[in-house]
Every structure is written in C-alpha cells, then in structure tokens.
Amino acid sequence: MTYVVTESCIKCKYTDCVEVCPVDCFYEGPEFLVIDPDECIDCGLCVPECPIEAIYADDELPPNQIDFIEINLKLSEVYENITEAKEPLPEAEKYKDILDKKHFIET
C-alpha cells in the first residue's frame, strides 16, 4: 500500500503534509504535490495534516481518483523533492472546493 495525492490538491498545494513525512517522499510540481510510491512507507502521518483531505491510501481512493495512482508515480519522477512546508498557492482558497481540476496538470 502507498498513499496518493488526489485532484483536490491541484491549484492549492498546501504543504502541511510535507513537514510530517519521515521519508521525504513528497514531490512538488507547479500546480500540486505528489507522493513517490516507491519511497512512501505507508505510515499515514500525512493524511490528517492535509487541510483539504487530498491524500488517500491507494486502496481507499474514491473511484474517480484511481488515475492519481499512476499520476503520482509518473510525476514523482520529474517533480522536485520537497522537504519543508511553503505557503500554498495564492488562489488556494478559491480552488480548494472546485472539482474536475485534472486539466490543470500536464501528465
């Protein structure tokens, strides 16, 4: 099992989760974060830290978020590792409740 960052994170990029990760498995792109599934140790510490509930165990993903297993894997290979919290994106509050944001990322 691994944890997966889902569509809710897109255009928000809250990084509270990054601070608690003991293995630094988060990677940052221009629009959101992903988790490298090969580095994740399945501790789950990141889940309660996400203020928008964007992180799920891969076996508990909502059906419409299954694609994010592959998206996290693929983008963790090209995004930069992030190990410290940063400010969320400027329009995070505006986008946090918007659905169907996958078109904002390049996969």
Q: How many domains does the chain have?
A: 1
The pTM assigned to this predicted structure is 0.95
Instruction: Reply yes or no on whether the pLDDT at 107 is more than 80.
Output: no
E strands, the chain, where?
A: 3-5, 26-28, 33-35, 55-57, 80-81
The whole-chain average pLDDT of the chain stands at 96
Q: Is residue 102 part of a domain?
A: no
Check which CATH number belongs to the domain holding 73 and give it: 3.30.70.20
Angle, CA of 35, 41 and 47, to the nearest 5°: 60
Domain membership of residue 78 as a residue range: 3-86
pLDDT, one tens digit per residue, over 24-43 is 999 999 999 999 999 999 99
Give the pLDDT score at 86.
Answer: 96
Mean pLDDT of 5-30: 97
Q: Is residue 32 part of a domain?
A: yes
Give the pLDDT score at 18.
Answer: 98
Instruction: Reply yes or no on whether the pLDDT at 75 is more than 90.
Output: yes
Q: Is the dihedral of CA 106, 103, 87, 24 positive or negative?
A: negative
> How distant, in Å, are the alpha carbons of 5, 8, 87 from that of 68?
7, 11, 23
pLDDT band at 1 (very low <50, low <70, confident <90, very high): confident
Give the pLDDT score at 45.
Answer: 98
Cβ contacts of 78 within 8 Å, gap of 6 or more:
29
Q: Is residue 70 part of a domain?
A: yes
3-state helix, strand, coil in the chain (%, to 5): 30, 15, 55
Q: Is residue 82 part of a domain?
A: yes
Give the pLDDT score at 76.
Answer: 98
Pick from 37, 31, 27, 33: which is nearest to 91 by CA? 31
